[in-house]
Amino acid sequence: MKLKSHIPLLVTIVGLICLPLFVENPYYIHLAETILIYTILLFGLDIVVGYVGQVSLGHAGLFGIGSYTAGILFFHLGWPIWATVPASIIVTAIFGGILALPALKVIGPYLAMVTLAFGTIAQILINEMTWLTEGPLGIKLTRPELMGVPMTKAEYFWLVAAIMIIAMIVVDRFVKSQMGRAFEALRDSPVACDCMGVSVYRFKVIAFVISAGFAGLAGSLYSYSEQYISPNTYNNELAVLFLLAIIMGGRKSRLGAAIGAAIIVLLPKLLDDINLFRIVASIIAIVVTVGAIMALSKKITTPKRVAIPVAGVVGLAAFSFWLNSIADWRLSIFGFMILLVVYYLQNGIVGFSKTFYLAITGKTKTTVGEATAENTDSSVDFISAVGNKNTGAELLKVDSVLMQFGGLKALNNVDLSIKRGTIHGLIGPNGSGKSTMMNVLTGIYIPTSGNVFYADESVVGKTSSEIALSGIARTFQNVQLFGEMTALQNILVGLHHTFKSNMLDIALHLPRYLREERDARNRAMALLKFVGLENLANEEARNLPYGKQRLLEIARALALDPELLLLDEPAAGLTAPDIKELLRIIRKIRDNGITFILIEHHMDVVMSVCDTVSVLDFGQKIAEGKPAEVQADEKVIHAYLGT
């Protein structure tokens, strides 16, 4: 199995070695080289776009910065390639950090605009700083030297190919490590990501910096490949093309990046040749038709399912006749078809092919190489026992907290005292401020006044991820899982704090990283088993039934090794047997010395597990005590039932 999984890589390597030997025309070698260079850039861009889910139109600018760093160092200082390439990576990575600043403040279309502005400014600066960049005249380079003689076209191609392969392996390792999981987690649910102790702020910056590093690498290789660089190459059109390449090729895929690169390099060339244009146009038309049929087939009945492909074939024939007559409209037609591809194939060509393959073979999706229920070590201590020492001492103190939203006092001078090793219920009618309290405790809201002490330290002013790492884990009223990640990966995000390995450990697969990854996987499987999800380990979280999602969220919170666990309506939407299972799980966790705050509407749940219950109504605490006392309290009955 191990060998089999390496076959595509080996074939790629052999193909790349052979290409310059069998292709005589240097122009074709050059095209292939450009594809490889763009592929390297797209590996990086995919981290930001595919994994982190941010739009960047600044990558043409970063590409330019990489090219010019190499160009300038070569032109002014005569540095050799082994010095200019690393310098380009570092300089561009620094600019990536600068580009990350807007990414932390704005999202969506605003981010697109800000990054676009970054690209424009980069291009203008390159143009204007003639003393450094030679301005519009551009810089000429010669191919790097190999043992005193300049490299041949083929030799430089091999160098680029080797670097592309290394880049591919490194990116693949990054995105499959704890770092890649952090990227995906912050895309799927930033708030949950922070509450798992994975700082959204930190990992957005890291993603942009790494991504820029790859753009710098690509840029420097490009300058030697073209042997001439000038500012107008790095325009916004190129930035849009890069983004399009990721979307068309397929995000979160190395193959997708390569396909995307091939499309944006070859497409303009194909437009020049009418016959090639016809072939490509027909392929795209077929892809779009099949994509549309697949999209529709889920909703339509069988007779129509036959009719549509027939109509599709007839349509295609008509389409190819029509193409002959409108040769002058090529560019517009292509633009329109690309639009359709992007619209129908939202997972790009790679994603589409996968779905298509699964559809025709009738196989269900399997994830290879992931942990299975069988190979787990049941002796793993998946819950770190906090121990029952100091039971009854104060763990958390809420001191007259006021939380105001405009004129609304969602929490009005609430005091709470949570004792170690107990289950503290928090109940109250809808809108009484229970979830707001959780958000204050976990740093999502900063209280208007008052203070919160956890283990005698104030948490007000700390970030959510700092609070999480100090030992407070939580679940959410509206489940906040990392939807595109598997159940196992969700837990692994919770175990992020157990990793000490850095980028070098990951890139080289050093023992430290491999050990941490193995330990984390074992523990994650044990946690899944604990909540009864071991057979769903490789299922994407968004595909799990609702009740299972809630259990998964609890397991993920446990991965954080919390001392205090906050559950916001864990039984909501659960079936009766699920609730029983939930109670068993809660009791078991409590027996390990973990303290709970439990928000719940199901009174039987509250009554059966809580040691103390506090009742909120309109942001104020109206009662507190043993469950039975509270249940009998008149003010509580009044609040729940009205007058």
Residue 428 binding target from Mg ion, ligand ADP, none, CB below 5 to 8 Å by type: ligand ADP
Q: Where in 529-568 is the site for Mg ion (CB under 5 A)? A: none
- Per DSSP bridges, beta strands 612-617 and 145-146 are unpaired
Cα separation, 173 vs 609, whole angstroms: 44
Give least dist CB 518 to ligand ADP, A: 40
Closest CA to 54 of 44, 62, 64, 63: 44
- Per DSSP bridges, beta strands 612-617 and 423-427 are parallel
For ligand ADP, which is the closer residue by CB, 521 or 550?
550
Give least dist CB 444 to ligand ADP, A: 9
Cα separation, 126 vs 121, whole angstroms: 9
- Per DSSP, the three-state class of 203 is helix
Residue 291 binding target from Mg ion, ligand ADP, none, CB below 5 to 8 Å by type: none
For ligand ADP, which is the closer residue by CB, 445 or 482?
445
**At 230, phi and psi to the nearest 5?**
-145, 155
For Mg ion, which is the closer residue by CB, 434 or 548?
434
User: With 0-12 CB in 10 A as exposed, 13-18 as middle and 19+ as buried, what is 441?
Assistant: buried
For Mg ion, which is the closer residue by CB, 236 or 477?
477
* CB-side neighbour CA atoms (13 Å) of 331: 4
**At 434, phi and psi to the nearest 5?**
-65, -50
Give least dist CB 409 to ligand ADP, A: 9
Closest CA to 563 of 542, 582, 600, 590: 590
For Mg ion, which is the closer residue by CB, 533 or 599?
599
- Token pair for residue 515? 């050990």
Binding range to Mg ion, per CB under 5 A, among 146-154, 321-329, 429-437, 507-515: 429-437
Q: Which residues bind ligand ADP (CB under 6 A)?
A: 405, 408, 410, 428, 430-436
Phi and psi based region of residue 245 (left: phi greater than 0; alpha: psi -120 to 50; beta: remaining): alpha
Closest CA to 122 of 211, 216, 28, 195: 216
For ligand ADP, which is the closer residue by CB, 189 or 436?
436
Residue 431 binding target from ligand ADP, Mg ion, none, CB below 5 to 8 Å by type: ligand ADP
For Mg ion, which is the closer residue by CB, 134 or 617?
617
Residue 433 binding target from ligand ADP, Mg ion, none, CB below 5 to 8 Å by type: ligand ADP
Give least dist CB 554 to Mg ion, A: 17
Give least dist CB 472 to ligand ADP, A: 17
413 lines the binding site for Mg ion (CB under 5 A): no
| Candidate residues 39, 211, 435, 614; the one interacting with Mg ion per rule CB under 5 A | 435
For Mg ion, which is the closer residue by CB, 53 or 431?
431
- Name residue, tokens 């660089």: 229
3-state SS track over 356-373: HHHHHHCCCCCCCCCCCC
**At 538, phi and psi to the nearest 5?**
-100, 15
- Per DSSP bridges, beta strands 595-599 and 394-405 are unpaired
Give least dist CB 434 to ligand ADP, A: 3
For Mg ion, which is the closer residue by CB, 204 or 434?
434
Residue 410 binding target from ligand ADP, Mg ion, none, CB below 5 to 8 Å by type: ligand ADP
Binding range to Mg ion, per CB under 5 A, among 465-473, 477-485, 576-584, 625-633: 477-485
Cα separation, 161 vs 166, whole angstroms: 9
Residue 486 DSSP symbol = B
Cα separation, 130 vs 567, whole angstroms: 61
Cα separation, 246 vs 253, whole angstroms: 9
Give least dist CB 222 to Mg ion, A: 53
3-state SS track over 217-269: HHHHHHHHHHCEECHHHCCHHHHHHHHHHHHHHCCCCHHHHHHHHHHHHHHHH
Residue 138 binding target from Mg ion, ligand ADP, none, CB below 5 to 8 Å by type: none
- Token pair for residue 130? 């003639």
Binding range to Mg ion, per CB under 5 A, among 6-14, 154-162, 398-406, 475-483: 475-483
Cα separation, 421 vs 391, whole angstroms: 5
- Token pair for residue 448? 């208007």
Nearest residue to the partner Mg ion, using Cβ: 435
**Residue 408, beta-bridge partner list:** 405
Give least dist CB 477 to ligand ADP, A: 6
Give least dist CB 595 to Mg ion, A: 20
Residue 464 binding target from ligand ADP, Mg ion, none, CB below 5 to 8 Å by type: none
498 lines the binding site for Mg ion (CB under 5 A): no
Give least dist CB 642 to ligand ADP, A: 16
**At 613, phi and psi to the nearest 5?**
-130, 135
12 lines the binding site for Mg ion (CB under 5 A): no
Give least dist CB 475 to ligand ADP, A: 13
Cα separation, 486 vs 92, whole angstroms: 33
Binding range to Mg ion, per CB under 5 A, among 111-119, 272-280, 470-478, 632-640: 470-478
For ligand ADP, which is the closer residue by CB, 252 or 434?
434
For ligand ADP, which is the closer residue by CB, 234 or 476?
476
Give least dist CB 452 to ligand ADP, A: 15
477 lines the binding site for Mg ion (CB under 5 A): yes
Amino acid at 187: R
Cα separation, 129 vs 185, whole angstroms: 41
For Mg ion, which is the closer residue by CB, 54 or 435?
435
For ligand ADP, which is the closer residue by CB, 144 or 433?
433
- How many residues bind Mg ion (CB under 5 A)? The answer is 3
Give least dist CB 447 to ligand ADP, A: 12
Question: What is the crossing angle of helices 511-530 and 487-494, to 10°?
Answer: 110
Cα separation, 120 vs 98, whole angstroms: 14
Q: Would you mind telling me the total number of residues written for the chain in this entry?
A: 643
- Per DSSP, the three-state class of 457 is strand
Give least dist CB 9 to Mg ion, A: 50
Quote the radius of gyration of the chain (alpha carbons, Å): 29
For ligand ADP, which is the closer residue by CB, 367 or 412?
412
Give least dist CB 410 to ligand ADP, A: 3
For ligand ADP, which is the closer residue by CB, 137 or 637?
637
572 lines the binding site for Mg ion (CB under 5 A): no
Residues in contact with Mg ion by CB under 5 A are 434-435, 477
